[in-house]
Amino acid sequence: MMRAMHKPPHRALLVALFCSLTGLAPAAHAYLDPSTGSMILSAIVGLFATIGLAVKTYWYKLKNLVMRRPPAPSPGPTPPSGEQPGQPNRLS
C-alpha cells in the first residue's frame, strides 16, 4: 500500500505567515554607522560581478540550451579498411 504524498503549503498561507511574523517583530533601536552602507553596497556589487562571471563562464552552454539546435548530421559510412575516401576501388 502506498503512502499519500504530502502537499507543500499553499503560497497564500506562506505569504500570510510571513506578513504576520513581520508585523510582530519589535522595533530595533540600533545605530548603523556609515561603513554599514558601504558594506551593503559592496555585497550587492559583488553579487552582480559573480552573476556576470557565471554567465560568462557558462555562456556557450546556456546559448546551446536556449537555441536547441538539431544534432549535426553524422558523416557517411566509413570505407572498408585500406581504402581512402574519394579514390576508386581497386577491384573496379
pLDDT at 51: 94
Is position 56 within any domain?
yes
Is position 40 within any domain?
yes
Q: Name the pTM for this structure.
A: 0.39
Is position 4 within any domain?
no
Is position 61 within any domain?
yes
Is position 59 within any domain?
yes
Average pLDDT over residues 2-24: 77
**Contact present, 62 and 55 (Cβ < 8 Å):** yes
Residue 74 has pLDDT above 80, yes or no: no
Is position 16 within any domain?
no
Residue 34 has pLDDT above 60, yes or no: yes
Is position 58 within any domain?
yes
Is position 60 within any domain?
yes
pLDDT at 82: 58
89 DSSP assignment? -
Average pLDDT over residues 66-92: 63
Average pLDDT over residues 36-51: 94
Helices (H), the chain: 11-24, 34-57, 59-67
Can you give the residue range of the structural domain that contains 53?
A: 35-68
How many domains is the chain built from?
1
Average pLDDT over residues 17-41: 85
Tell me which of 5 and 64 has the higher pLDDT.
64
